[in-house]
Amino acid sequence: MLLAAMLGGGANALAGGGMFLVFPSLLFAGVPPVIANATATFVLNPAGYASTWIYRDRLIHGWRFQGSMILAAMLGAGFGSELLLHTSEQGFERLVPYLMLAAALIFTFSGKIKKAAESHSAVTTHFATLLWGQFFIAIYGGYFGAGMGVLILVLYTVASKMDVHQASGLRILCGSLTNTVATLIFVVRGIIVWAVAIPMTLICIAGGYFGAKLVKRLDAEKARNAILAYAWTVTIWLLARSFYR
């Protein structure tokens, strides 16, 4: 689990996809699915703020607009995390293979999805579309979250005039706050496995730090492909297990 946390932090710095590493490691260690999801969200959350700090100069959308988007993200996260808490372990366990499949598909085709979104980029900002889209994506983020960043970036590209750097900055901020709200709710409800969450979080932060150091040296696409190979292996295994149980 510590190795998965270190690699997950590095993966998020390089190419994204840390959830594909941390969440399955907890499942394989015998942590129940709902608790594993909550703990993985806690472990991966701090790294998002380091990325937000890097993009702070791109957060130039105005406090009213950014505040509205942040509020939509936080409200959606609250709904999503409460929905997770009202899902039984057995029910969530049945959903996990399909959630992993959806996330793996989003991550696999993220490049094509982004290009398609850019080809249909908005000439004006559709404020209502952005708010409702952020809200519903945050519900998914609070419930599971893998691949959430791609969905947010597509939303911003299609429904606003933001360039890629402006969209990335706001995406990371709203994504981090989505995970923070979910994490706080999970903490209050007492479903974080602290014995593994604290050391995994520290190792994940270290992995993110050294992963960021390696960004300029390593090919992010190769890292992404390695994460994809692992994600699809785990997804196929989970699907096969669900069919033959």
Q: How do residues 143-173 score in pLDDT, each as one tens digit?
A: 998 878 778 878 887 777 776 666 767 877 8
Q: Which two tokens stand for residue 3?
A: 């190795």
pLDDT per residue over 16-60, tens digit each?
Answer: 678 888 999 999 999 999 999 999 999 988 876 766 666 666 665
> What's the chain's average pLDDT?
82
Q: What one-character-per-residue DSSP string does the chain give? A: -HHHHHHHHHHHHHTS-THHHHHHHHHHTT--HHHHHHHHHHHHHHHHHHHHHHTGGG--S-HHHHHHHHHHHHHHHHHHHHHHHTS-HHHHHHHHHHHHHHHHHHHHTHHHHHHHHHHT--SS--HHHHHHHHHHHHHHHHHT-TTHHHHHHHHHHHHS---HHHHHHHHHHHHHHHHHHHHHHHHHTT---HHHHHHHHHHHHHHHHHHHHHTTTS-HHHHHHHHHHHHHHHHHHHHHHHHH-
Residue pair 216/54 in contact by the 8 Å Cβ criterion: no
What's the pLDDT at 43?
92
pTM value? 0.81
Q: Has residue 218 got a pLDDT over 60?
A: no
> What's the count of helices (H) and strands (E) in the chain, helices before strands?
11, 0
φ and ψ of 134, to 5 deg: -60, -40
Hey, CA dihedral for 214, 216, 221, 224, is it positive or negative?
A: positive
Rounded Cα distance, 180 and 177, in Å: 5
Rounded Cα distance, 162 and 168, in Å: 9
